[in-house]
Amino acid sequence: MNNDDFRQWSHRAAEWGADYRNNLRERPVRPRVEPGDIFRSIEASPPEDPEPMDRIFADFEAKIVPGMTHWQHPRFFAYFPANAAPVSVVAEYLVSAMAAQCMLWQTSPAATELETRTVDWMRQALGLPEGFSGVIQDSASSATLNAVLTMRERGLDWQGNKKGLAGQERLRVYCSDQVHTSIDRAIWVSGIGEDNLVRIPVAGRFRAMDTAALEAAIIADRKAGMLPAGIVASVGGTSTGGTDDIAAVATVAGRHGLYLHVDAAWAGSAMICPEFRHFWAGAELADSIVFNPHKWLGAQFDCSIQFIRQPEDLVRTLAIKPEFLKTHGRDGIINYSEWSVPLGRRFRALKLWFLLRAHGLENLRAMIRNHVAWSEGLAARLAGEPDFEIVTEPMLSLFSFRHAAPTGAEPDSHNLRLVNAINDDGRIYLTQTSVNGRVAIRFQVGQFEATAADVDSAFAVITEIARSLT
C-alpha cells in the first residue's frame, strides 16, 4: 500500500466509521449468528498472493460486521459500557498512524508527559487529594495485578521477586465475594494462591464487607502464623454494584499495616460528580485505586487509570533497568514501563486528552447524572409492574430484577429464558447474574449516546417479552 492508497483507504475507513455510528440503532445489539458461522466463512488457508483492498473491505462488511456485538449501541444495557466517544476514536486514528512505542520518556517524550498531566487532570476531576500519582494501564486487571504484586513485595520485605515464595510466610489477601474475578487472577498470577484469598462476609443494601469480620480474620491469620498482606475493596462491583465502606476498611488496613487497593473500575467515573463521592468516602486513604475511563467516561478501550499513593513501591516491585533501557543524562524523568508488567506501551493519554477537552467535565457529569436518573426511573417502573421484583436497588445506574415464573415453572429457568428471549429479540441487550444463589437480570445504563427514549424502549421490550412467556 503506497501513500496514495493509504490516504484513500483511511478516508474510506473513517467514512465507514461515521456511517456505522450513525446507523447503529437500526442494527440488533447482538448478532443473530450461531457458533462457527463466521469461522466457516473465512478461507481455511492464508492467501499466497496479495488481494485487492476492495475485496478485503467488502469481506469485512459482509462477513465480519454481521457477526459483531455492537458495544456502542445506545441500547447496550449489558455488562458495563465500553464507550468510545467519537472524539476518542479520532484520537486513536492518530495514535495508530504514529504507531509509537511509548515505553520510555525518550521513546516518546510527549506521550509520557501528556500521560502525567492528563492523569493529574483526572485526579482533580475525581476529587482525590494531591499526593496521588498515576499511570494509564491497559485494564483494571493489570492495575489490580500490580497492586497485588506490590502487596506481596511489601509484605515480604521486598524479597518475593528475589527469593520466590517457597519458604516464605504464607501470605493472605482479603476481599468480599463482590469483587471482580480479576482479583482471583491476580492472586493466581502473583503466586499467592487462591486458598489465600480470604472472602469476607457482606451485609446491607450495598453488600459491603463486614469490617468486624475482616479484622477478626486478619487477627486469626496472624495468630495462625500467616502473613496478612493486603485488602482489595470494591466500589460498584460488577454483579450488583457491591460497594464497601472504604473509610472503615481503610481504618482496619491502617491499624494492621496492610496495603489497601480500591477497585472502582466502573463506578469511579461517577466520582466526577461531587454528589456521588460518598460512595467511596475514604478512598483518599487507599494505597492504590483503579478506575476505567474506557467504561463510563467515553475513552476508547484501553484506558485504565491506576492512582498510587507511593509510586516508589510500585516501581520497586516492577522496574528492571537493563542498559538498553536507560535514558542517560536525564534525571528525574518517568519511564512508565516501570509502572506496569508489560514493557511495551501504547499512547493511551491522547484519547483522554481529546475527550476531556472536547466534552469538558460538565458535559460528562450531565451524561452520568442522566444515566443514573434513567436507571432509577426504570427500576421504579418495573417495581410497579405485576410480577416484577427489584432484587438489588440501583447503585448509580446499575440494578437487578426478577420476573415471577408462571405456575409450574422453575423461577431461575424462567428468568434465564426471559433474558435469552430479550437478547435474541435484538432490540436491547442484558445480562444475568446470581444474587443469594438465585438468578437475577442485570440492567445498567452507560452507553455514551443513550437517551431517555432508549431506556423507555427497554421497559417496553422487557415487559412485552415477559408477558409473552407467561
306: its cell numbers? 491506576
Cα angle, residue 194 at apex, residues 441 and 174 outer, rounded to 5°: 75
**Higher pLDDT, residue 320 or 238:** 238
| Confidence band, pLDDT 50/70/90 cuts, at residue 328 | very low
In this structure, are residues 353 and 111 in contact, taking their beta carbons and an 8 Å threshold?
no
Beta-strand runs (E) in 48-200: 133-137, 171-176, 197-200
Q: Which helix (H) or strand (E) holds 443?
A: strand 438-444
Give the pLDDT confidence of 269-283 residue by residue, as tens digits: 999 999 999 999 999
433: its cell numbers? 447474574
How high is the mean pLDDT of the chain? 91
Give the contacts of 53 (CB within 8 A, at least 6 positions apart): 1, 5, 9
Q: Which of 149-153, 260-264, 313-317, 333-337 has the lowest mean pLDDT?
A: 333-337
- Beta strands across the sheet bearing 388-395: 388-395, 398-403, 438-444, 431-435
322: its cell numbers? 537493563
| Confidence band, pLDDT 50/70/90 cuts, at residue 332 | low
In this structure, are residues 377 and 445 in contact, taking their beta carbons and an 8 Å threshold?
no
Give the pLDDT confidence of 41-69 residue by residue, as tens digits: 999 999 999 999 999 999 999 999 999 99
Q: Is a pLDDT exceeding 60 seen at residue 331?
A: no
How many Cβ atoms sit within 10 Å of the Cβ of residue 161? 14
Give the pLDDT confidence of 80-130 residue by residue, as tens digits: 888 999 999 999 999 888 888 888 878 888 889 999 999 999 999 999 999
Contacts 24+ apart (CB under 8 A), 247-251: 247/281, 247/282, 247/285, 248/211, 248/282, 249/209, 249/211, 249/214, 249/282, 250/282, 250/285, 250/286, 251/211
User: Residue 99: its pLDDT value, please?
Assistant: 82
Cα 14 from Cα 56, distance rounded (Å) = 16
Per DSSP bridges, beta strands 133-137 and 431-435 are unpaired
In this structure, are residues 226 and 170 in contact, taking their beta carbons and an 8 Å threshold?
yes
Helix, strand, or coil (residue 125): helix
Q: Is 181 exposed, middle or buried (0-12, 13-18, 19+ CB in 10 A)?
A: exposed
Give the pLDDT confidence of 196-233 residue by residue, as tens digits: 999 999 988 889 999 999 999 999 999 999 999 999 99
User: Residue 381: its pLDDT value, please?
Assistant: 96
In this structure, are residues 397 and 371 in contact, taking their beta carbons and an 8 Å threshold?
yes
Cα 145 from Cα 161, distance rounded (Å) = 14
User: Residue 105: its pLDDT value, please?
Assistant: 79
Q: What is the torsion angle, in degrees rounded to the nearest 10, for the CA atoms of residue 90, residue 91, residue 96 and residue 98?
A: 120
User: Residue 81: its pLDDT value, please?
Assistant: 86
166: its cell numbers? 517457597
User: Residue 322: its pLDDT value, please?
Assistant: 53
Cα 259 from Cα 189, distance rounded (Å) = 18
Q: Which of 147-156, 180-189, 255-264, 383-392 has the lowest mean pLDDT?
A: 180-189
Q: How far is CA 81 from the centre of its chain?
A: 8
